[in-house]
């Protein structure tokens, strides 16, 4: 079984590399070596694929059970349920790994992971940055934070915290920030903490009662290019994702919905932090930041 499982992990890594066009060899190696089942409850598992959602299935109907507890079942591009009742899941590797790939992580890098869940994707990033790097993995749900702490014990470069993801200035800077939950705005502390050349991947989503805890919107890649008062910005996809707790603003939620009606895939090029009047170039103009074309 051990040899078979190792082969399955290797095939899984190569498959995700192919479908997500990964460019980071260390990420592919992490997929082949980090045991995903370590971060999950004992099987059988409830799982869902992109095909389930494309077929119009809604949670909880989208979830189907694996035939047994063989860990090979979780080594596919599927979401694995953490808590089906709350629509919490360990997301699809193809999507999450494409985001990690965009962060351009390197050995020794410092990473902030907001919404780390049970810690699997934190472990992948820890593998990339190595023993000289650091991953601050933050989870607002106390039960998930406890599970992540236990599962990540072997990765000494990971610091798991039960928090909402806002970092104190004394925490220092980060080369990359991954926000793994839907927010209405990038927190100023995240923007302030980015090193020159640092990257922030953040889903900017709209939520509504009919959607429950899931929001929808564009995923944005922000880059600190060294320009005063601005960061480079581009939309890198459209996502349905669990809404962050404590990191949303209801007024901005409505304004994102209005902006998405005009342009669901925003043609933004910059996140401006300077004070200026709203103009037709502003896709989302808000206090403290503006996503501008």
In sequence order, what are the beta bridge partners of 216? 206, 240
Burial zone of 257 (CB within 10 Å; 0-12 exposed, 13-18 middle, 19+ buried) = middle
CA distance 143 to 117: 9
pLDDT above 70 as % of the chain: 96
pLDDT (0 to 100) of residue 52 = 66
**Dihedral of CA 151/101/201/284: which sign?**
negative
DSSP-derived secondary structure letter, 245: S
108-121 residue pLDDT tens: 999 999 999 999 99
pTM equals 0.95
**Dihedral of CA 249/250/255/260: which sign?**
positive
Residue 12 neighbours by CB under 8 Å, 6+ apart: 31, 32, 75, 76, 93
CA distance 215 to 233: 21
Whether the pLDDT of residue 8 is over 70: the answer is: yes
Average pLDDT, the chain: 94
In sequence order, what are the beta bridge partners of 29? none
Does residue 128 contact residue 108 with C-beta atoms inside 8 Å? Answer: no
Provide the pLDDT confidence category of residue 171 given band limits of 50, 70 and 90.
confident
pLDDT (0 to 100) of residue 93 = 98
235-278 residue pLDDT tens: 999 999 999 999 999 999 999 999 999 887 889 999 999 999 99
Whether the pLDDT of residue 55 is over 80: the answer is: no
């Amino acid at each position: 079984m051990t040899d078979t499982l190792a082969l399955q992990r290797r095939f899984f890594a190569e498959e995700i590399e192919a479908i997500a066009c990964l460019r980071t060899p260390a990420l592919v190696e992490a997929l082949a070596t980090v045991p995903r089942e370590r971060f999950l409850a004992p099987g059988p598992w409830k799982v869902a694929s992109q095909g389930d959602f494309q077929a119009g299935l809604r949670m909880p109907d989208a979830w189907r059970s694996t035939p047994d507890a063989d860990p090979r079942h979780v080594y596919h591009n599927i979401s694995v349920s953490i808590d089906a009742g709350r629509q919490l899941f360990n997301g699809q590797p193809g999507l999450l790994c494409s985001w990690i790939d965009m962060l351009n992580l390197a050995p020794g890098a410092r990473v902030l992971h907001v919404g780390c869940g049970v810690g699997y994707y934190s472990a992948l990033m820890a593998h990339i940055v190595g023993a000289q790097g650091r991953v601050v993995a933050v989870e607002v749900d106390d039960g998930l934070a406890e599970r992540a702490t236990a599962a990540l014990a072997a990765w000494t470069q990971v610091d798991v915290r039960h928090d909402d993801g806002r970092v104190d200035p004394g925490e220092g800077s980060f080369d990359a920030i991954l926000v793994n939950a839907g927010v209405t705005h990038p927190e100023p502390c995240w923007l302030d903490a980015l090193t020159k050349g640092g990257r922030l991947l953040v889903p900017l989503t709209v939520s509504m009662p009919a959607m429950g805890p899931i929001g929808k919107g564009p995923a944005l890649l922000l880059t600190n290019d060294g320009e005063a008062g601005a960061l480079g910005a581009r939309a890198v996809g459209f996502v349905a994702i669990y809404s962050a707790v404590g990191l949303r603003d209801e007024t901005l939620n409505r304004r994102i919905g209005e902006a998405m009606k005009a342009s669901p895939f925003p043609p933004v090029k910059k996140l401006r932090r300077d004070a200026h009047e709203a103009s037709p170039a502003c896709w989302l103009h808000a206090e403290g930041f503006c996503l501008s074309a």
